[in-house]
Amino acid sequence: MASSAGRVLVYGGKGALGSAIVNHFKSNNWWVASIDLIPNEDAHSNIVITKTDSWTEQEQEVLKAVEGSLGDEKVDAVYCVAGGWAGGNAASSALVKNSDAMWKQSVWSSVIAANISSKWLKENGILALTGAKAALEGTPGMMGYGLAKAAVHQLVKSLAAGDSGIPSGAVVTAILPVTLDTPMNRKFMSNADMTKWTPLEFVADLFYKWATKAERPENGSLLQLITDERKTSVEPAS
């Protein structure tokens, strides 16, 4: 670990985006830890979540494993890209079920990532969470998803405020993608306009820049990822 260029922790490190981030940092000689339901064989350290029914038990499991992996070492960046998608309006029979799943995937992970950051993030480090551009407005066809992502947006604002418990000088932000270019999205939305999908490599490189203190966003900013004709711009939400 001592010979690495830096250290980063990726919550959701086995998903499509998480794997891209792990690989990008590893290729740049960074030490990478992944937190997910299954291990990422490319990461240097894996924290595997088995507690999925209790938020407090999941927190205790993850914190204990992070301590075992890092000890007193600190990380330069914590990136939470855990999440998922589910639809449904108020009349849907799956409204509560899907909302519960979205809350667990996006909010549980983001709050635990914040707690990890309070303990193991370096001063002047960066914590980035994953919101959604859609959740800046109403999401009637995917209520649980919008609810969870809006909560992540609020969490960013709270973490960026004074006395939040985040280390001094650290930046807290969230990316707000529209659609990420993942294998799963390609499978289930094969007829969509993929030129408007954000490449995973763009996000991984953006996170790498931030970790190396390049092109850092303002603390508390919510950053929309707008892709058109395969070119992506980063636009702060008003």
20 contact partners, CB below 8 Å, separation of at least 6: 200, 201, 203, 204
Indicate if 11 belongs to the active site: no
Q: Which listed residue (11, 79, 145, 208) is catalytic?
A: 145
| Strand order through the sheet with 7-11 | 45-48, 31-36, 7-11, 75-80, 121-130, 171-177, 222-228, 231-236
Per residue in 168-216, pLDDT (tens digit) is 999 999 999 998 988 888 898 888 889 999 999 999 999 999 999 999 9
**What class is the 7-176+201-222 domain?**
alpha beta
pLDDT higher than threshold 50 for residue 1: no
Domain parsing of the chain, residue ranges:
7-176+201-222
pLDDT more than 90, % of the chain: 89
- Joined together, the tokens standing for residue 156 give 């960013």
DSSP structure string for 87-135? -B-TT-TTHHHHHHHHIIIIIIHHHHHHHHHHHHEEEEEEEEEE--GGG
Per residue in 50-88, pLDDT (tens digit) is 999 999 999 999 999 999 999 999 999 999 999 999 999
pLDDT higher than threshold 50 for residue 31: yes
